[in-house]
Amino acid sequence: MLDDLKYIHQIDSSGALQIAADVAKQLRHKFEPLALGSEVHNVVYAAMGGSALAARLSTSWPKYKVPFEIITDYHLPAYVGEKTLVIAASYSGNTEETISAFREALDKKAELVVIASGGKLEELAHQHNVPFIKLPTASQPRFAALYCFKALIDILESVGFVQANEMDKELELAAQHLEESIKGWLVDVPTAQNAAKQLALELAGTSPVVYSGSVLWPAAYKWKISFNENAKNVAWANSYPEFCHNEFIGWASHPVEKPYSIVDLHSSFDNDRIVKRFEIVDRLLSGKRPAAHAVIAEGNTLLEQLVWTVVFGDFVSLYVGILNGVDPTPVDLVEKLKAELNN
């Protein structure tokens, strides 16, 4: 089925696989430089869903010189004030939680930046003279995650929280590595040579549970999002070592025949103790849960491995969506929920 190009294009009528094929260019996008005002002592990134993923990725990669917190809620922490940089990010610009956080940041007189493609947040940014980064158009927020990531890095460079020259070089190398990797996952690459199609066939018809160490945790969480939205599939994610303190025990009472699949994401940057935990858990849970599918992140740097793992997961989930017979792009239930909230 995954080598039937006519069938695939019929199901993927919105072209999600082609969007995924072009994603590396997002790491090269040049945003307009920002002129930010007062000195800031900490950063709060307010966003939901795919827009929040950019911040999750960044927390695994740069070495922040100041505290950085991600808020996925209507309200900002009490400590936010004039020395806080609040980044309000929403691909559509109409995410109500992020708009609420934006208004609170105004009230608290925080330093503000908006990342959006338009919508209400763009209007508010212009109305209040708030620096605004306009995202290029994409069909869904999850397909613009690396645009948001690049915009965030540009903001952090502008306030001196990360080193510009080093970041730009590493971003370009990551883009090159990603482009080469994607060639092996494209829709016209037969299943026999296509690792993304092969794993999709293994995971189809199951509820995937994705595990990683802390360095790849943002990627593991993105796998969960991708299965939810692209494949219309329930999925879960967790990270080591936290998994070993609670969820690990839960597998003891679940027979192997339950409809789960396990994906373990591994990085060469994983702590040695994390590596050992994975080995011990596999042994102790043998026969108590399905055998794990190991995905070894490819790349010379952590950034290369992060984006490689994220995009590989995108392709896997898109192919699972095809196997599920669903168009990966629309998220009709989310739109219905928003419509009812607005009534």
CA 179, 9, 183: angle at the middle one, nearest 5?
15
Residue 220: other Cβ atoms inside 10 A: 27
Phi, psi of 89 (to 5 degrees): -120, 130
Task: Spell out the residues 6+ positions from residue 216 whose beta carbon is closer than 8 angstroms to its own.
Answer: 60, 265, 266, 267, 270, 297, 305, 306, 309
Q: Choosing from 63, 183, 245, 340, which is the catalytic residue?
A: 245
Is 229 assigned a catalytic role? yes
Task: Spell out the residues 6+ positions from residue 315 whose beta carbon is closer than 8 angstroms to its own.
Answer: 17, 20, 182, 185, 196
Is 245 assigned a catalytic role? yes
Nearest Cα neighbor of 265 from 127, 60, 54, 103 is 60
Sheet holding 292-296, edge to edge: 236-239, 207-212, 260-266, 292-296
**CB-based burial label for 319 (10 Å; 0-12, 13-18, 19+):** buried
* Backbone Cα Rg of the chain: 20
Q: Which residues of 20-49 are buried (b: 16+ CB within 10 A; e: fewer)?
A: bbebbebbeeebeeeeeeeebebbbbbbbb
Q: Choosing from 122, 170, 229, 304, which is the catalytic residue?
A: 229
Distances (CA, A) of 106 to 13, 88, 203, 261: 42, 11, 46, 45
Residues involved in catalysis = 229, 245, 338
